[in-house]
Amino acid sequence: MKMKRYRIEPGTRVDLSGFDAGDTSASPGGKDETREVFGKLNGRLEEQQEMLWSEHRHKVLVVLQGMDTSGKDGTIRHVFEGVNPSGVRVASFKAPTPEELDHDFLWRVHPKVPGRGEMAIFNRSHYEDVLAARIRELVPPEVWKARYDQINDFERLLAETGTTILKFFLHIDADEQKERLQARLDDPTKRWKFRKGDLDDRKLWKEYTAAYEDALSRTSTAHAPWYVVPANRKWYRNLVVATVLVHALEKLDMRYPESAELEEDLDSIVIE
């Protein structure tokens, strides 16, 4: 699979400066050709998700992380456009509430993971607790450093109990972020997305980059791999995520179940 080039192998030390955020090398052609292929992927994803829901056996967790404006919302909107909302849930993790702070950092995450037949999409995730918590010094270093192993143990538990985990870091460069932030300010229909905190985070670009490099290096495992997705081009970002997801689902070799309620040969039934 061409997209394997973006997968972080376990034990790899990640240096994001070595990843081209504008890469489109796995594209089948130009933008139009890619959109045509992406449309077919959408159809395959819709079918696979329908089988996932009806077979009620496997679980799928998709984690989306990235700098501000990297396209997490857009990825969800476009890649998962045709899926059945009955079997798909999106969870976002904002600043912890006082009740959540009274528990371990994964306490609020576990109820959001997928059950049998479900696909859960994390728009930001438990990784904020080794990113924002680290950069903003919300917890001491000995606390957030211990969380890498705790996250690996948590994801191993999910994998061993039937969850397919796919984690995508949507990689944009600082120039692209600047353009997207300015576009939000220039377009009245997008200003609602803008917050002054985005500018504060932008000033910490190097710090966030280092935090992401550590997280990707420490937590990309065989059972829960990270993919560094070139995301400067939205159409290419969508292609990469959809391709990885569809191939992972097809490897599950799912089937539509037979009717659980009818013992007779269904071919012999005549609707009057």
Nearest Cα neighbor of 47 from 55, 59, 37, 35 is 55
Residue 197 buriedness (CB in 10 A; 0-12 / 13-18 / 19+): exposed
Q: What is the pLDDT of residues 129-139, one digit of tens each?
A: 999 999 999 99
Q: What is the pLDDT of residues 20-70, one digit of tens each?
A: 999 999 999 888 899 999 999 999 999 999 999 999 999 999 999 999 999
Average pLDDT, integer, range 67-83: 95
What's the pLDDT score for residue 196? 81
Q: What is the mean pLDDT of the chain?
A: 93
Q: What is the pLDDT of residues 142-153, one digit of tens each?
A: 999 999 999 999
pLDDT band at 2 (very low <50, low <70, confident <90, very high): confident
Percent of residues, the chain, with pLDDT higher than 90: 84
Question: What global pTM score does this model have?
Answer: 0.93
Q: Could you tell me the two tokens for 15?
A: 């240096």
Residues 6+ positions from 38 with CB-CB distance below 8 Å? 235, 238, 239, 242
Residues 6+ positions from 188 with CB-CB distance below 8 Å? none
Q: Is the pLDDT of residue 261 over 60?
A: no
Ordered structural domains, the chain, with CATH: 2-253 (3.40.50.300)
If one compares 155 and 261, the residue with the highest pLDDT of the two is 155
What's the pLDDT score for residue 195? 82
pLDDT band at 266 (very low <50, low <70, confident <90, very high): low
Q: Is the pLDDT of residue 1 over 70?
A: no
pLDDT band at 269 (very low <50, low <70, confident <90, very high): low
What's the pLDDT score for residue 250? 97
CA-based diameter of the chain, in Å? Answer: 71
Q: Could you tell me the two tokens for 66?
A: 């990235």
What's the pLDDT score for residue 198? 84
Q: Is the pLDDT of residue 251 over 60?
A: yes
Residues 6+ positions from 13 with CB-CB distance below 8 Å? 217
Q: Is the pLDDT of residue 264 over 70?
A: no
- Residue owning tokens 């917050």: 195
